[in-house]
Amino acid sequence: MRCDYCGAQAKVYVPHQGIRLCVNCFKKNVVSRVEEEVYRFNMLDPSDTVLMGISGGKDSFVLLDVLSRLHDPSKLIALTIIEGIPGYNRQDELDFVKKATMERGVEHIVVSFKDAVGLSLSELVNLGNEKRLGISACTFCGIIRRRIINYYARQLGASKTATAHNLDDEAQTLLINIFRGDTSKLVRQHPLAPVPSKKLVKRIKPLRKIYEWEAATYAYYSGYRFQSVECPYIIYQPTVRARIRRWMIMMENEEPGIILRLLNSFDEVVSQRLISKSGSTLLLNECKNCGEPTSPGREYCKTCELLMKIGVIKS
């Protein structure tokens, strides 16, 4: 089997494009599709300093590798967040990220939940459980991670933050927002959506048109070491997302390209006019406790609300 681009031995079949590629051409194909997406939505300016959330997972490794090819590595900062999950945040994974960032000339910083809010994720979860609040670990994790990334981006003078969400993640979120009828979140998901607060740093998702399997394959052929340990809280991930994910994979297997077409249709339907119309009505408040942005109509940000619920701070 020969590579459709260069004639070398093919290693990867890309069903949504109907092509067989060698490892080199496959990696070039991924990088050029990310570049195209970055260009299409004007995600990066050469002057941008970008703070990337680099967890050490495969997608974040791909984000680091691809962005350091497309942007000046001295203007990239990798931020690893240590949630504080016993048995999960391991030193050897952190060492791997340190090495990978150093090899690419990217600055690397590490921040823990404990540094940011005074407690590790497991301590937060335990306090919530003691009070029988029914708050899942993933809720704490998602809200506090977003807060840390935005806060450190501001502190470090970054003009953009970049996350490693892939096509599967984005398509799942899109369908969840549609099923919930949450049109405001739906519009905010679009790469051209305006930033609704001066305190929010613009977030970009360069891998939003790269399938999860493509990111995994790219990582594999780039020397990434897959983690053998899964987060113990993964069983608490929202079931709706997990169901949509299973359904999407089944549909994609039957009709390759279906997930990509879904996101492309979203990009076409949500026009710039619609975004500026909805964006102008959405200006965030500032939290009464910490001053961070929060949704209109709320007094406190989600992080402070959670910390109040578990009794760590007073209202």
Residues near Zn ion, by CB under 5 A: 3, 5-6, 8, 22, 25, 287, 289-290, 292, 301, 304
Q: Which partner, ligand SF4, Zn ion, none, binds residue 138 by CB below 5 to 8 Å per kind?
A: ligand SF4
Nearest distance in Å: CB 233, ligand SF4: 4
Strands 19-21 and 12-14: antiparallel
Q: Is residue 117 involved in binding ligand SF4 (CB under 6 A)?
A: no
Q: HSE (CB half, 13 Å, CA atoms) of 299?
A: 5
Strands 50-53 and 19-21: unpaired
Sheet of strand 76-82: strand arrangement: 107-112, 76-82, 50-53, 160-162, 202-204
Residues 6+ apart with CB under 8 A from 251: 258, 259
**CB 210, CB 33: distance < 8 Å:** yes
Residue of 24, 173, 222, 237 that binds ligand SF4 (CB under 6 A): 237
Residue among 85 and 158 whose Cβ is closer to ligand SF4:
85
Nearest distance in Å: CB 277, Zn ion: 29
- Please name the residue that has the structure tokens 């990434």: 224
Strand partners for 311? none
Binding mask 127-146 for ligand SF4 (x = CB under 6 A): ----------xx--xx----
Nearest distance in Å: CB 199, ligand SF4: 24
Q: Is residue 224 involved in binding ligand SF4 (CB under 6 A)?
A: no
- List contacts with ligand SF4 (CB under 6 A): 137-138, 141-142, 231, 233-234, 237
